[in-house]
Amino acid sequence: MKSTGTGVDFELLVHEAVASVDDPEYPGVSIVDLGLLETLLIDDAGGVRIGLVPTFSGCPALAMIADDVRDAVAALEWVTAIEIEWLAAPAWSTDRVSEDARSVLSKEFTVAVQIGSSAKCPLCGEPTVEKSLFGPSRCRSVHRCEPCSETIEVLRG
């Protein structure tokens, strides 16, 4: 841990830098709010180690997200080294998605986040029906809201 006593909360600074990175497919939704940040270690020499969990291991955005995190953390001038690792465990689940991210996904993208095995329509709040397990990505399925005839995507684990 980088020395305390300087009055600077180094961990908070790195956390903020990581949180400034948005999901490449959802501008305005931070990867921290999506629950991708798992571990954050800072050593005395200013070396930073960040452990991230992917929503699914075959996600094509992993390299891009890691690059963005690296750039954001490298902007802190006291950082001397950055190591970013995609962790095999724990597995990501929708429980890791923050209330803020749920709200933006719902309002801005009409994307619902799965709760248990169901989801609620971002437009009317009614439960939705799964139409296909496979949406535009492994982490999203296609649902339909019968009351308002809306086709929606549901973020799933």
Partner 1 sequence: MAGTTIARSWTSLDAFEAFLNGGGIVEVDDAMPDEYRTAVFRFIEMHANSELMGGLTERDWIPKTPGLRHKMAVLAKTQDEIGHGHLLYMVAADMAVKTRTEMLEDLFAGKSRFHNVFHYQAKTWGDQVAIAFLVDAAALASQQAVFKNCSYGPYRRILKRIISEEGFHMRLGEERMLRIAEGTDTQRSMFQESINDWWWPALQLFGPDTKPGDVLLRWHIKSERNEVLRDRWVQKFAPMLQGYGFTIPDPGLHYDDEAGRWMAGPIDWEPLKATLANGGPDSARRIAEAAGNWNRNAWVRDALNAVSVSA
Stretch that binds partner 1, among 1-9, 18-26, 34-42, 96-104 (CB under 8 A): 18-26
Stretch that binds partner 1, among 1-9, 40-48, 70-78, 117-125 (CB under 8 A): 117-125
List the x/- string, 36-75, binding to partner 1 by CB under 8 A.
----------------------xxxx-xx-----------
Closest separation in Å from C-beta 37 to partner 1:
20
Own/partner pairs, 59-66, CB within 8 angstroms, 24+ separation: 59/137, 59/138, 59/139, 61/23, 61/24, 61/25, 62/86, 64/24, 65/21, 65/23, 65/24, 65/31, 65/36
Residues 6 or more apart in contact with residue 109 via CB below 8 angstroms: 26, 153
Stretch that binds partner 1, among 24-32, 36-44, 78-86, 90-98 (CB under 8 A): 24-32
Distance CA(124)–CA(44), nearest Å, equals 51
Distance CA(85)–CA(82), nearest Å, equals 10
Nearer to partner 1, 42 or 139 (CB): 139
The residues binding partner 1 (CB under 8 A) are 24-27, 58-61, 63-64, 108-111, 121, 123-124, 126, 131-132, 134-138, 140, 142, 144-145, 147-151, 153
